[in-house]
Structure 1
């Protein structure tokens, strides 16, 4: 694994001192009046920085960092992975640049990595066992082969997203890995339905919640501490798309993605989908394991001001993730060749436990919108692919904005309310495009 940490970047500059950032990047005129700057000589400076004139500059929100400048990358290599961007190396966390997520089914090499602790050294399927205990009539302990033999095996394309995906865009900054947009994937998982296993064990009437345990160890090395142990309500465990997986894209699961056995609880924060799974404990209360509280994977019950202190008792557990879309083609910074004014744009959209019903695109900073062609999901809890043909009226710098709407009418916002842990950022994705003469 290699890692290169960039020097102070544009997002950090704007977070710490937006006026100085304007001065450093666009010139002195930007400091006193950003709107006036975009009407005067400073507009030429910004156009020079992004590499083209900006036809719809009058629609640019005040303080907007052009998408052409807002992307920072780091190199990351690990066996079996390709092109990921490292965020942390202890534990290993890495996301996938948006343009590498263009496939309908995410290749294993492009699936993001989110670890809380130290992965187990031995991830061989042979001899691995899973225990089901707690409020069940029959405590069960099975090998992976026994799971395959006893229960129907299914293969589903399932969307997983880290609850902190998009955290890097919050201001003031929230603690945790500074994900941009690439902590999401839609691999095909082969396994057995969790509900079938729980029904065989005989879940008792007073069961409320599952509790999950894995073979990874705490960063401290203390064997008495869990790296992460989260759970979900029994109703989510009984969803037919919630599975115990032993294959990823028709092959053994990648070690960094939870080999040889993991949960996949699609549409919910990825931390619910325990990796290196060894035990599921059925409880009569909400699980209180590691990373279940008081603020982990929780958000305030009400809107809060940026930087506001929120009492622990006012946080609630994140369940279904919000509606979201991603532009995967072209890559941000794409340049249309001379005499070309039409571009095919493609991406994906998802909405937690809901369906996506519409995706709309804008090339004029949100003044007008064009509907995209939206495909149905491959199966429940799979993301949905969309595409559109966009026309550009003249040469210059453009931004393509994507906005999805779910089956309950909830639409992606331009920006989201701040929260202390930087969760659930489903703001519109945007990329930069330049049209040549």
Structure 2
């Protein structure tokens, strides 16, 4: 094996393709034989040093797999020296956990590491942050904030939040809310947008009025096809004539009894960063259809064409395209509706170290599948060669996520990767790698993997 100028760990972080060639390719060439799923000699020694221990099941390690131990999935401790930023940085924002990872500050975007999503109900301080424009203006009197319902309705409405609360019956549901780009970092080549891992998801308790009740009060016309939502968040440019984002849904989704005009989160008024005083919650669909700082619901006789609609925005290919292609989405693309099946392990973080001699470990996590339910969750510790089914919890209501739990076993000390995969009620499993590449990076849902080192 040719001597490396940098460590394997540095290579995997900076140049995964070269790291793979150094460890696997040249060794195979030197022996005059192809390498498939096998690691040995100098390559095995280099990889062992990189991950910090003997790789159990190394003979099953898939070629081209970047070890989970090489991934940076958590920000440095808050007390880290104030040097030039390197790797993930922690979010610093009032009312939010500093365990969140700052992805972008304009607009403000922050991800929740999977191990912080270990609560059945996601605490507000651990809920991910996603904005498309500037943060909406604060309201001195939230109950006086006005929402307009107009368009293809018999009786346009102009309702204050106070009137929404007094005129309609409020409900509370635990609902999944997920960014359409969750998992984007798994695409190769890299797609445009924030490089989310699996943490652009939260499942809080939302209290509000079913949107369908408000629409029925306005009298939806037979010509109604789609909604268009508008919020008070200014465009990043500051141009008042431009919308930061304005998306909507087909009427069937708007009339789902779980689609809410929400004014409370986890039993408290919605924090300003999450849409105070009122927002839409469209569970199971891309979070861009759940606008914050809601000001208007426009019922339309055609598919909405606001900012964030059309082209490649929140749209995925209906036929495969070559990864890296520069396409405009005018042909063979469709709006992204239900989010794909996904599971995460939440009881332990990537890079977990366990005591020497540990042979069993109790684990738990979450799984969800947009409009669908989750049929099963399986876990593997031998690079996907065998899988063990996990126990599934009951749902509190539709669009709640499934909590799962179980026990895994380790035959010896060393380095392992714990993989989780879920299957939805239609029979679809999470794939091994991100599939259906698209320019904006929507729908990536490969297995969740964490590194575990014993001894």
Partner Cα separation in structure 2 for residue 20 and residue 10 of structure 1: 5
Partner Cα separation in structure 2 for residue 330 and residue 367 of structure 1: 22
Partner Cα separation in structure 2 for residue 169 and residue 93 of structure 1: 18
Which residue in the other structure is 1:66 paired with? 67
Partner Cα separation in structure 2 for residue 115 and residue 306 of structure 1: 27
Which residue in the other structure is 1:426 paired with? 445
Which residue in the other structure is 1:4 paired with? none
Equivalent in 395, 412, 429 of residue 411 of structure 1: 429
TM-score by length of 2: 0.90
For 1:6-17, what aligned pairs fall within 5 Å after superposition? 13-14=14-15
Change (3 A) 1:320 1:49: same
Change (3 A) 1:253 1:30: farther
- 2:361 and 2:409 in contact (8 A); partners too: yes
Structure 1: which 5+ runs fail to align?
1-7
> Does residue 333 in structure 1 map to residue 351 in structure 2?
yes
* Structure 1 outlier segments of 4+, above 3 Å: 8-12, 20-23, 25-37
Partner Cα separation in structure 2 for residue 207 and residue 227 of structure 1: 25
Partner Cα separation in structure 2 for residue 301 and residue 9 of structure 1: 38
Which residue in the other structure is 1:3 paired with? none
SS at 1:378 equivalent: coil
TM-score by length of 1: 0.93
1:311-360 residue CA offsets vs partner (Å, 9 max, x unmatched):
52222100001111011111111122122211011100000001001000
- 1:373 and 1:388 in contact (8 A); partners too: yes
Which residue in the other structure is 1:114 paired with? 130
SS at 1:191 equivalent: strand
Partner Cα separation in structure 2 for residue 313 and residue 12 of structure 1: 36
Q: How many residues align?
A: 426
Partner Cα separation in structure 1 for residue 406 and residue 355 of structure 2: 19
SS at 1:99 equivalent: helix
Change (3 A) 1:138 1:31: farther
SS at 2:50 equivalent: helix
Partner Cα separation in structure 2 for residue 28 and residue 392 of structure 1: 31
Which residue in the other structure is 2:76 paired with? none
Change (3 A) 1:114 1:34: farther
- 2:172 and 2:205 in contact (8 A); partners too: yes
> Does residue 277 in structure 1 map to residue 294 in structure 2?
yes
Alignment RMSD (CA, Å): 2.0
Which residue in the other structure is 1:19 paired with? 18
Equivalent in 37, 50, 75 of residue 90 of structure 2: 75
Change (3 A) 1:335 1:30: farther
